[in-house]
Amino acid sequence: MDANVREGHAPAVVIALETGEKLTSEAGAMMFISGDVQMDVEMPGGLMGGMKRAVLAGESLFLATYAARGSGAVGICGPFPGSIRQHELDGEIICEKHAYLAHFGDVTIESALAKRLGMGIAGGGEGFFLQRLKGKGTVWLHGGGDFLDFDLVDGQTIVVDTGCMVMIEPTVKYDVKIQGGIKKSLFGGEGLFLVHMTGPGHVTLQTLPFSRTAHRILEAAHGGGDERGTGGILGNILGE
């Protein structure tokens, strides 16, 4: 297997496969297939595993698989503009539920319920249901905007908006706490809950969660309607 992440505002990863190799990705992530590669779907963890992904995490019941009967390549892309990162997994990481894009090797994907209900309330629901990736292989992660990384030392704490989390190592302790003060909670422009992450361990954040973009689009849509209405009134006043 050989992979190349094509950088850009909406990046893709092109993964070259040799005979007998197999790639697995999130359903709907495939951009193209070339060569002698057979595409199929599977339900990881059987029916119960698929139901957990669909009902709890809001993901598809199935994952897509690509088996190389000869040499070929598969192009994988994320569901919205952002960044793609290749991560060499040897053990376990915990990801935001939409971060997983694809993997190569012996990797198990499990749904992981966050420790506090607040992670499902704040920021459009990011983080309430996390994913635990375990095993040994190559994993591709997707995030909105750019990635920002922190290596926390023992006892060091970082406070993070729930939607900005992408990945943490299992050594990082995390706790969801309500913001202090009604004024900050209601008028600070942030979520009601924040994640307190304490090292040691690695933390990866995303600079532009999709929920923020969606929220701004909705605001602009409502504002656009107001502007059209205002424009009509001004037009009548000015005789246009």
Determine contact, residues 164/113, Cβ cutoff 8 Å.
no
Average pLDDT, the chain: 81
The Cα 137–Cα 4 span in angstroms is 16
61 DSSP 8-state letter: S
Instruction: Say yes or no to pLDDT of 58 above 90.
Output: no
Q: What pLDDT does 219 receive?
A: 77
Q: What pLDDT does 119 receive?
A: 46
Q: Where are the domains of the chain?
A: 2-224
The class level of CATH for 2-224 reads alpha beta
Q: What pLDDT does 98 receive?
A: 85
Kind plus residue range of the DSSP H or E element containing 137: strand 129-144
pLDDT tens digits along 152-180: 999 999 999 888 999 999 999 988 777 66
CA–CA–CA angle 114, 148, 139 (5° rounding): 65
3-state secondary structure of 210: helix
Determine contact, residues 74/107, Cβ cutoff 8 Å.
no
pLDDT tens digits along 8-28: 889 999 999 999 999 999 999
Determine contact, residues 54/92, Cβ cutoff 8 Å.
no
What residue type is assigned to position 80 of the chain? F
Residues 6+ apart with CB under 8 A from 226: none
Instruction: Say yes or no to pLDDT of 128 above 90.
Output: no
What mean pLDDT do residues 122-139 have? 73
What mean pLDDT do residues 82-104 have? 94
